[in-house]
Structure 1
């Protein structure tokens, strides 16, 4: 099975959906932040390993605690995946903290701030032109 085959893409999607459900509903670890979401999952073509990209909205401490909670619950999550998905092999999960959503929100705020400053500057320029006429 090639890395980007249709079958592998479908498996990635199913594992992602199942992990999202497990993390949000099944795991009762208080270390895992409630604003934790699964961004993406890459299952190896041989189904032995999977990289799970996780986003946590919060400070650095909550990210570290969530990572530790997920790492300690990895065997439970893998067992639940084996029960819920019919795969030849259930992949070993590797969690990776992904800051892309947080970075995107930050950049969006900065762009909005620059746009509002630009709009205010344009209004001031128009007001000055009207006064000089």
Structure 2
């Protein structure tokens, strides 16, 4: 599969999965806290790596439970992709979690705390 076609499929699959998360998923935690971070299709088109991020500002969400629930939805995502796209092979979905957004929020809050402390000392 050429690079341009693969990128187009990744973009379309990202749209399909995003709409599925918004409209078809009934689990409120997944619906409200999970977002697609990256969609990668392998060169042969057999596997799809979906990378999700969880934005939990209050740190009261069980991330392992959400990842387990997302893994249960792999077949559902694959079915949705197959029904929306006319491709020879519907890729097998693999779920990954990304904590970079959460890490960025944590670093930002630490920097804000340091800034507040410096303003008090000055």
| TM-score calculated relative to the size of structure 1 | 0.76
Paired residues of 2:39 and 2:48 also in contact (CA < 8 A): yes
SS of equivalent residue, structure 1 residue 89: coil
* Higher Cα radius of gyration: 1
Q: Which residue does 2:114 correspond to in 1?
A: 114
Task: Give the CA deviation at 1:97.
Answer: 1.1
Paired residues of 2:25 and 2:31 also in contact (CA < 8 A): no
Q: Which residue does 2:12 correspond to in 1?
A: 14
What are the superposed Cα offsets for residues 92-128 of structure 1, whole Å, 9 maximum, x if unpaired? 001011111100111111222223333444xx3xxxx
What are the superposed Cα offsets for residues 53-109 of structure 1, whole Å, 9 maximum, x if unpaired? 111234485322222222112112111111112323211001011111100111111
Question: Which consecutive unaligned segments of at least 5 residues does structure 1 have?
Answer: 125-133
- Number of equivalent positions: 120
Q: Which residue does 1:45 correspond to in 2?
A: 43
Paired residues of 1:42 and 1:50 also in contact (CA < 8 A): yes
SS of equivalent residue, structure 2 residue 64: helix
Where in structure 1 do 4 or more consecutive aligned residues deviate above 6 Å?
none
Paired residues of 1:33 and 1:56 also in contact (CA < 8 A): no
Question: Which consecutive unaligned segments of at least 5 residues does structure 2 have?
Answer: none
| TM-score calculated relative to the size of structure 2 | 0.82
